[in-house]
Amino acid sequence: MSPTDIPDQTQPVLRRLTRAAELRRMWPLYLIFTTFALAALLAPLAAPFDPMEQDLFARLKPPGTTLGGYIYWLGTDELGRDLLSRIIYGARVSMMVALLSVTVSMITGTAIGLAAGYFRGWVEVILMRLVDIILSIPAILLAIIAVAVLGPGLQNLVIVLGFTRWPRYARVAYGQTLGVANMPFVAASRFIGLASWRILVRHILPNIVAPLIVVATLEFGLMIIWEAGLSFLGLGVQPPTPSWGSILSTGRNYVASAWWISTLTGACLFLLVLSVNMIGDFLRDRFDPHSIKR
């Protein structure tokens, strides 16, 4: 293998992700993800109907039904609401919850991992044992208990997910910091008299951010599933606000007569999480020099 085959680890992140050849190979995944992202972002424009508007004359209509001049592309649910609009608004809830909780947990976990890996000593012992303790409790159980205590709702969901998932980032940030902190350039920053916070933020953080982005991407997929799971159990976003979890849950009662409600929502969940996970795997391969295919 010639030196030019080795992907340059020092290139700016964005340039590496947008390189044309890779974009071409990954296009179906990017397309799925972008479609959902745009739908979520532009929900009021993208959705043909108000997702909460009921029409009891149009209950449980199959996909493609035309009624009073309107086409219900994906059919309607048990209260005559347009399923497509509900899925689009549900995507908005899913992605917002996932994005916010990933942000909260990434910031918390990274800060804790950085501190533990850089300062070592008792800081390391306290923080990393705390991480071990939280990781030893089944996370979904922890989340269910926390929601039960705080009460359901979008805001609480973000708080709960954010603060049950930070240990994963902490572990990765900690391990990476241990490695980077021993690099000569960190010693060099100390030799010119930089303060610890400055070394951490300006020199160590940029050097450990790539694996954290990979974790965040994979976690993003997981958070979409968790949001759906908790909403399915009635602990997440409350009706009538559309959420994939609650649509799945109520659709289950009608699955024999109106298969499309649960099936199509489930398929969307599957596609979105699949695309996110595969993009995450792809990023991991790009960022991890050990897994680069020869």
Partner 1 sequence: MSAPPAIEVTDLSLKIGGVDILSQVSFAVNPGQTLAIVGESGCGKSITALAVMGLLPEGAEITSGSIRLAGRDLVSLPEREMQTLRGNAVSMIFQEPMLALDPLMQVGDQIAEALTAHGKSSRQDATDEARRLLERVGISDAGKRLRQYPFELSGGMCQRIMIATALACRPSVLIADEPTTALDVTIQAQILRLIKELGEELQTAIVLITHDLGVVADTADQVAVMYAGSVVEQGNVHDIFAHPGHPYTQALLRSIPRLDGVPKAELAVIDGMVPDARHWPQGCRFHPRCDLAIARCTAERPALEPQEAPDHKVACWRAGEVPQ
Which residue ranges make up the site for partner 1 (CB under 8 A)? 8-10, 183-185, 187-195, 198, 202-203, 206-207
Report how far residue 148's alpha carbon sits from residue 194's, in angstroms, rounded to the nearest whole number: 46
CB atoms within 10 A of CB 286: 19
- Residue whose CB is less far from partner 1, 137 or 188: 188
Paired residues of 71 in beta bridges: 66
Helical segments of 151-259, H only: 154-181, 184-191, 196-198, 205-232, 244-251
Report how far residue 246's alpha carbon sits from residue 233's, in angstroms, rounded to the nearest whole number: 8
Tokens coding 179: 């490695």
- Residue whose CB is less far from partner 1, 120 or 252: 120
Rounded to the nearest whole angstrom, what is the least distance from the CB of residue 5 to partner 1 in the complex? Answer: 16
Rounded to the nearest whole angstrom, what is the least distance from the CB of residue 70 to partner 1 in the complex? Answer: 54
Amino acid at 69: G
Rounded to the nearest whole angstrom, what is the least distance from the CB of residue 123 to partner 1 in the complex? Answer: 14
- Residue whose CB is less far from partner 1, 116 or 268: 116
Tokens coding 126: 């306290």
- Residue whose CB is less far from partner 1, 6 or 141: 6
Tokens coding 66: 């035309």
Rounded to the nearest whole angstrom, what is the least distance from the CB of residue 177 to partner 1 in the complex? Answer: 14
Report how far residue 19's alpha carbon sits from residue 49's, in angstroms, rounded to the nearest whole number: 38
- Residue whose CB is less far from partner 1, 150 or 194: 194
Rounded to the nearest whole angstrom, what is the least distance from the CB of residue 63 to partner 1 in the complex? Answer: 50
Amino acid at 56: L
